[in-house]
Amino acid sequence: MTRWYQEKKKEYFYKEAKRTGYRSRSAFKLKQIQRKFKIINKADFVLDFGAAPGGWSQVTNEIVGENGKIIGIDLSYIKPIKGIQFIQDDLTKKSTILKIKKIVGENGVDVILSDMSPNISGNYSIDHANSIYLCKQSLNLADQILKKNGNFLCKLFMGEEFDDFFNIFKIRFKNVKLYSPPASRKSSSEIYLIGRFFKK
Protein backbone atom coordinates (compact mmCIF):
# COMPACT_ATOMS: atom_id res chain seq x y z
CA MET A 1 0.00 0.00 0.00
CA THR A 2 1.50 3.34 -1.05
CA ARG A 3 2.05 6.23 1.36
CA TRP A 4 -0.33 8.39 -0.75
CA TYR A 5 -3.10 5.82 -0.39
CA GLN A 6 -2.51 5.48 3.36
CA GLU A 7 -2.74 9.27 3.77
CA LYS A 8 -5.87 9.38 1.61
CA LYS A 9 -7.57 6.78 3.78
CA LYS A 10 -6.90 8.91 6.88
CA GLU A 11 -8.54 12.01 5.42
CA TYR A 12 -11.75 13.14 7.05
CA PHE A 13 -13.69 13.69 3.81
CA TYR A 14 -12.56 10.37 2.37
CA LYS A 15 -13.87 8.65 5.50
CA GLU A 16 -17.07 10.68 5.41
CA ALA A 17 -17.71 9.68 1.79
CA LYS A 18 -17.35 6.03 2.76
CA ARG A 19 -19.59 6.49 5.79
CA THR A 20 -22.37 8.38 4.02
CA GLY A 21 -22.39 6.42 0.75
CA TYR A 22 -21.00 9.06 -1.58
CA ARG A 23 -18.80 7.69 -4.33
CA SER A 24 -16.05 10.27 -3.88
CA ARG A 25 -14.72 12.79 -1.38
CA SER A 26 -15.31 15.47 -4.02
CA ALA A 27 -19.05 15.18 -3.27
CA PHE A 28 -18.33 17.35 -0.25
CA LYS A 29 -16.67 19.99 -2.42
CA LEU A 30 -19.89 20.39 -4.40
CA LYS A 31 -21.97 20.41 -1.21
CA GLN A 32 -19.81 23.24 0.16
CA ILE A 33 -19.96 25.20 -3.11
CA GLN A 34 -23.73 24.74 -3.25
CA ARG A 35 -24.14 25.87 0.37
CA LYS A 36 -22.23 29.07 -0.35
CA PHE A 37 -23.40 29.95 -3.89
CA LYS A 38 -26.69 28.09 -4.49
CA ILE A 39 -25.85 27.27 -8.11
CA ILE A 40 -28.29 24.34 -8.38
CA ASN A 41 -32.04 24.60 -7.78
CA LYS A 42 -34.86 22.13 -7.42
CA ALA A 43 -36.08 20.69 -10.75
CA ASP A 44 -33.00 21.97 -12.65
CA PHE A 45 -31.60 20.26 -15.75
CA VAL A 46 -27.90 19.73 -14.98
CA LEU A 47 -24.92 18.50 -17.01
CA ASP A 48 -22.10 16.96 -14.99
CA PHE A 49 -18.79 16.85 -16.91
CA GLY A 50 -16.04 14.61 -15.56
CA ALA A 51 -18.73 12.83 -13.59
CA ALA A 52 -16.91 9.59 -12.65
CA PRO A 53 -17.29 7.95 -10.23
CA GLY A 54 -20.58 9.80 -9.67
CA GLY A 55 -20.21 11.73 -6.42
CA TRP A 56 -21.24 15.09 -7.87
CA SER A 57 -24.20 13.47 -9.65
CA GLN A 58 -25.33 11.98 -6.33
CA VAL A 59 -25.27 15.39 -4.64
CA THR A 60 -26.97 17.05 -7.62
CA ASN A 61 -29.68 14.38 -7.59
CA GLU A 62 -30.47 15.20 -3.96
CA ILE A 63 -30.89 18.88 -4.85
CA VAL A 64 -32.89 18.74 -8.10
CA GLY A 65 -35.28 16.05 -6.88
CA GLU A 66 -37.50 13.81 -8.98
CA ASN A 67 -38.53 16.66 -11.30
CA GLY A 68 -34.92 17.48 -12.16
CA LYS A 69 -32.73 15.91 -14.81
CA ILE A 70 -29.03 15.02 -14.73
CA ILE A 71 -26.71 13.85 -17.47
CA GLY A 72 -23.19 12.84 -16.46
CA ILE A 73 -20.38 12.53 -19.00
CA ASP A 74 -16.95 10.97 -18.50
CA LEU A 75 -14.31 9.01 -20.35
CA SER A 76 -14.56 6.35 -17.64
CA TYR A 77 -17.45 3.98 -17.03
CA ILE A 78 -19.82 5.13 -14.28
CA LYS A 79 -21.85 2.60 -12.33
CA PRO A 80 -25.56 3.41 -12.86
CA ILE A 81 -27.53 5.60 -10.46
CA LYS A 82 -31.31 5.51 -10.66
CA GLY A 83 -32.74 8.55 -12.43
CA ILE A 84 -29.41 9.74 -13.86
CA GLN A 85 -28.24 9.28 -17.45
CA PHE A 86 -24.53 8.60 -17.86
CA ILE A 87 -22.62 8.86 -21.13
CA GLN A 88 -19.17 7.31 -21.48
CA ASP A 89 -17.51 9.54 -24.05
CA ASP A 90 -14.88 12.22 -24.71
CA LEU A 91 -16.19 15.75 -24.28
CA THR A 92 -13.37 17.12 -26.46
CA LYS A 93 -14.77 15.26 -29.49
CA LYS A 94 -17.21 16.99 -31.82
CA SER A 95 -19.32 13.83 -32.04
CA THR A 96 -19.83 13.88 -28.25
CA ILE A 97 -20.85 17.53 -28.28
CA LEU A 98 -23.38 16.83 -31.04
CA LYS A 99 -24.76 13.90 -29.06
CA ILE A 100 -25.18 16.08 -25.95
CA LYS A 101 -26.83 18.88 -27.91
CA LYS A 102 -29.27 16.41 -29.44
CA ILE A 103 -30.20 15.04 -26.01
CA VAL A 104 -30.52 18.51 -24.47
CA GLY A 105 -32.65 19.91 -27.28
CA GLU A 106 -33.52 23.53 -27.96
CA ASN A 107 -34.56 24.46 -24.42
CA GLY A 108 -31.04 24.12 -23.02
CA VAL A 109 -29.83 23.33 -19.49
CA ASP A 110 -29.95 25.25 -16.22
CA VAL A 111 -26.53 24.31 -14.87
CA ILE A 112 -23.22 22.98 -16.18
CA LEU A 113 -20.78 21.46 -13.70
CA SER A 114 -17.26 20.53 -14.72
CA ASP A 115 -14.99 18.67 -12.33
CA MET A 116 -12.86 17.45 -15.23
CA SER A 117 -9.16 17.07 -14.58
CA PRO A 118 -6.40 16.32 -17.11
CA ASN A 119 -4.20 13.28 -16.80
CA ILE A 120 -1.51 14.56 -14.45
CA SER A 121 1.88 14.62 -16.19
CA GLY A 122 3.96 15.89 -13.29
CA ASN A 123 4.83 19.03 -15.26
CA TYR A 124 2.74 21.73 -13.63
CA SER A 125 2.75 24.11 -16.61
CA ILE A 126 1.42 21.36 -18.87
CA ASP A 127 -1.16 20.24 -16.32
CA HIS A 128 -2.33 23.84 -15.83
CA ALA A 129 -2.62 24.43 -19.59
CA ASN A 130 -4.58 21.19 -20.00
CA SER A 131 -6.96 22.12 -17.20
CA ILE A 132 -7.63 25.49 -18.85
CA TYR A 133 -8.25 23.68 -22.14
CA LEU A 134 -10.89 21.46 -20.53
CA CYS A 135 -12.57 24.52 -18.99
CA LYS A 136 -12.60 26.21 -22.39
CA GLN A 137 -14.25 23.13 -23.90
CA SER A 138 -16.94 23.23 -21.22
CA LEU A 139 -17.46 26.97 -21.62
CA ASN A 140 -17.72 26.63 -25.39
CA LEU A 141 -20.53 24.13 -24.95
CA ALA A 142 -22.15 26.42 -22.36
CA ASP A 143 -22.27 29.13 -25.02
CA GLN A 144 -24.43 26.80 -27.09
CA ILE A 145 -26.74 25.13 -24.56
CA LEU A 146 -26.75 26.98 -21.22
CA LYS A 147 -29.98 28.90 -20.60
CA LYS A 148 -30.01 32.63 -20.00
CA ASN A 149 -29.34 33.20 -16.27
CA GLY A 150 -28.01 29.65 -16.00
CA ASN A 151 -25.04 28.77 -13.78
CA PHE A 152 -21.64 27.27 -14.55
CA LEU A 153 -18.92 25.73 -12.39
CA CYS A 154 -15.51 24.46 -13.46
CA LYS A 155 -12.37 23.22 -11.75
CA LEU A 156 -8.99 24.48 -12.88
CA PHE A 157 -5.37 24.69 -11.80
CA MET A 158 -4.00 28.18 -11.27
CA GLY A 159 -1.19 29.35 -13.54
CA GLU A 160 -0.05 31.70 -16.25
CA GLU A 161 -3.03 31.14 -18.56
CA PHE A 162 -5.60 31.85 -15.88
CA ASP A 163 -5.95 35.61 -16.43
CA ASP A 164 -6.73 35.23 -20.14
CA PHE A 165 -9.34 32.57 -19.45
CA PHE A 166 -10.84 34.58 -16.60
CA ASN A 167 -11.30 37.57 -18.93
CA ILE A 168 -13.12 35.34 -21.42
CA PHE A 169 -15.21 33.86 -18.62
CA LYS A 170 -16.29 36.98 -16.75
CA ILE A 171 -17.91 38.71 -19.73
CA ARG A 172 -20.39 35.82 -19.99
CA PHE A 173 -21.79 35.99 -16.46
CA LYS A 174 -23.28 38.68 -14.25
CA ASN A 175 -21.62 37.27 -11.15
CA VAL A 176 -18.23 35.51 -11.05
CA LYS A 177 -16.42 34.03 -8.06
CA LEU A 178 -13.31 31.97 -7.32
CA TYR A 179 -13.57 29.51 -4.47
CA SER A 180 -11.50 26.80 -2.84
CA PRO A 181 -13.85 24.58 -0.81
CA PRO A 182 -12.60 23.27 2.56
CA ALA A 183 -12.92 19.70 1.26
CA SER A 184 -10.10 20.31 -1.26
CA ARG A 185 -6.79 18.84 -0.14
CA LYS A 186 -4.50 21.40 1.47
CA SER A 187 -1.74 20.42 -0.96
CA SER A 188 -3.95 20.88 -4.03
CA SER A 189 -3.57 23.80 -6.45
CA GLU A 190 -7.10 23.36 -7.78
CA ILE A 191 -9.66 26.10 -7.53
CA TYR A 192 -13.26 26.42 -8.67
CA LEU A 193 -14.54 29.16 -10.94
CA ILE A 194 -18.22 29.90 -10.52
CA GLY A 195 -20.31 31.87 -13.01
CA ARG A 196 -23.89 32.79 -12.12
CA PHE A 197 -26.58 34.34 -14.30
CA PHE A 198 -25.36 33.56 -17.81
CA LYS A 199 -25.87 36.50 -20.17
CA LYS A 200 -26.47 34.34 -23.26
Q: Is residue 137 part of a domain?
A: yes
Q: What does pTM read for this prediction?
A: 0.91
Q: Is the pLDDT of residue 188 over 80?
A: no
- pLDDT tens column, 89-127: 999 999 999 999 999 999 999 999 999 999 889 899 999
CATH number at residue 166: 3.40.50.150
Q: Is the pLDDT of residue 75 over 80?
A: yes
Q: Is there a catalytic annotation at residue 155?
A: yes
Q: What is the dihedral of CA 35, 60, 169, 191, to 10 degrees?
A: 60
d(CA 109, CA 123): 35
Q: Is residue 172 part of a domain?
A: yes
Greater pLDDT, 182 or 19: 182
Q: Report the chain's mean pLDDT, rounded to a whole number.
A: 92
How many domains does the chain contain in total?
1
Q: Is residue 10 part of a domain?
A: no
**Which position among 93, 99, 155, 170 bears the catalytic label?**
155
| Whether residue 80 has a cis bond before it, omega within 30° of 0 | no
Given this model, what pLDDT does residue 186 score?
A: 72
Q: Is residue 16 part of a domain?
A: no
Residue 159 belongs to what domain range?
Answer: 24-198
Q: Is residue 47 part of a domain?
A: yes
Are the CB atoms for 127 and 188 separated by under 8 Å?
no
Q: Is residue 14 part of a domain?
A: no
- pLDDT tens column, 124-171: 999 999 999 999 999 999 999 999 999 999 999 999 999 999 999 999
The DSSP-derived string for 147-196 is EEEEEEEEEEE-STTHHHHHHHHHTTEEEEEEE--TTS-TT--EEEEEEE
| Ranges assigned E (strand) in the chain | 45-49, 69-74, 84-88, 109-114, 146-157, 173-179, 190-198
Q: Is residue 17 part of a domain?
A: no
Q: Is residue 13 part of a domain?
A: no
- pLDDT tens column, 17-57: 677 768 888 999 999 999 999 999 999 999 999 999 999 99
Given this model, what pLDDT does residue 9 score?
A: 52
